[in-house]
Amino acid sequence: DTLITLAKQMPKTELHLHIEGTFEPEQMFAIAQRNKVELTYQTVEALKAAYQFNNLQDFLDLYYQGMSVLLHEVDFYDLTMAYLEKVNDENVVHVEIFFDPQGHTERGVPFDTQIKGIYRALQDAEKKWGMTTRLIMSFLRHLSEESAFETLAAAKPYLDWIDGIGLDSSELGHPPEKFLRVFQACKDLGLKVTAHAGEEGPPEYVWQAIEQIHVDRIDHGNRALEDEKLVETIRQKNLTLTVCPLSNLKLCVVNDMTHHPIKRMLALGLNATVNSDDPAYFGGYMNDNYSALIKGTGINKAELYQLAQNGITGSWMNKEQQQNHL
């Protein structure tokens, strides 16, 4: 299919990617072995067989289990570099990646160990391939706002390396307003902010992300489509949605790729982008996400270009950098 070839060849950005979600089972077992830690699953095959999720929480349980073998700076470096090598081969030219510091500090791995490994890999990718990168520190919303404040305090010496703040993990029962004050503190530090909203959570959570957190973009946002006034607000504010097709399928946000709302989002004038979220768990990186959309939803060439362009204009590159990519 020529459209799939086109999607593979075009320069792409990734704006919604959890670095811990790129942990491939093979690498997970290799790092577990060198760190002498036990995994619940005995083989790569057994682990892969467990990757069947009915909802977000099913996935998160395995996601936190998987990342628990990351102990040393070199582990974070190797994880990040493996991802960057993969997407460099897929013509991804700019990445904005999330990391979940509390997923590691909670197990006793210091903040600086994590960020030093991740940041060094990002720097190496910039030097080696001219890729451009941003780093987004994400708060776990199932934990307290106090814990988020502690994380922000740990990050203070590294703010030059951090471009923005995100909010992820279990959405239901943990509305954005729970983190109102910590996000205000982040904004006061000049950081960009985004939040997962409307993946499983109701439109009300997307409203809160916009009106209370004052997000610069919305991660997922699928359920915003249930509320006409919300759609209008997202369009008026020119907010970007970081949509993740294969993630939506694997977490049962959509029951079939033919039902994926990406075309509807574009038709409504929303700045939808294509991203891979947790590619090691959801069955594919950037090109697989584009392929799945092309096959499932029948997006046309104009829509394909619009999605790629939205990925540039919705990124946190400065205007001049964006212009160089358009």
Which residue is at the shortest CB distance from Zn ion?
Answer: 277
Calpha distance 253→248 (Å, rounded): 5
**Catalytic site residue 14?**
no
Count the helix, strand and coil residues of the chain and give each as a percent rounded to the nearest 5. 55, 15, 30
Query: Which one of 261, 278, 289, 314 is in contact with ligand HPA (CB under 6 A)?
Result: 278
Which residue out of 199, 204, 232, 303 is catalytically annotated? 199
Query: Which one of 15, 56, 254, 270 is in contact with ligand HPA (CB under 6 A)?
Result: 56
Query: Which one of 73, 199, 216, 303 is in contact with ligand HPA (CB under 6 A)?
Result: 199
Q: Least distance to ligand HPA from the beta carbon of 151, Å?
A: 15
The reply on whether position 96 binds ligand HPA by CB under 6 A is: no
Calpha distance 63→25 (Å, rounded): 11
The reply on whether position 18 binds ligand HPA by CB under 6 A is: yes
Residue list 63-82, contact with ligand HPA (CB under 6 A) = 63
Helix (H) / strand (E) containing 192 = strand 192-197
Residue 110 is classified by DSSP as: -
For every residue of 231-277, DSSP letters joined together read HHHHHHTT-EEEE-HHHHHHTTSSSSGGG-THHHHHHTT-EEEE--B
The reply on whether position 100 binds Zn ion by CB under 5 A is: no
Residue list 258-277, contact with Zn ion (CB under 5 A) = 277
Q: Least distance to ligand HPA from the beta carbon of 173, Å?
A: 13
Paired sense of beta strands 12-18 and 192-197, if any: unpaired
131 within 8 A of 90, measured Cβ to Cβ: no
Q: Is 94 annotated as a binding residue?
A: no
Q: Which is nearer to ligand HPA, 196 or 325 (CB)?
A: 196
CB atoms within 10 A of CB 157: 11
Q: Which amino acid is at 106?
A: E
The reply on whether position 13 binds ligand HPA by CB under 6 A is: no
- Interacting residue ranges for ligand HPA, rule: CB under 6 A: 18, 21, 56, 63, 168-169, 196, 199, 247, 277-278
Task: Enumerate the active-site residues.
Answer: 199
- Interacting residue ranges for Zn ion, rule: CB under 5 A: 277
Residue ranges of the annotated binding site are: 16, 18, 196, 277-278
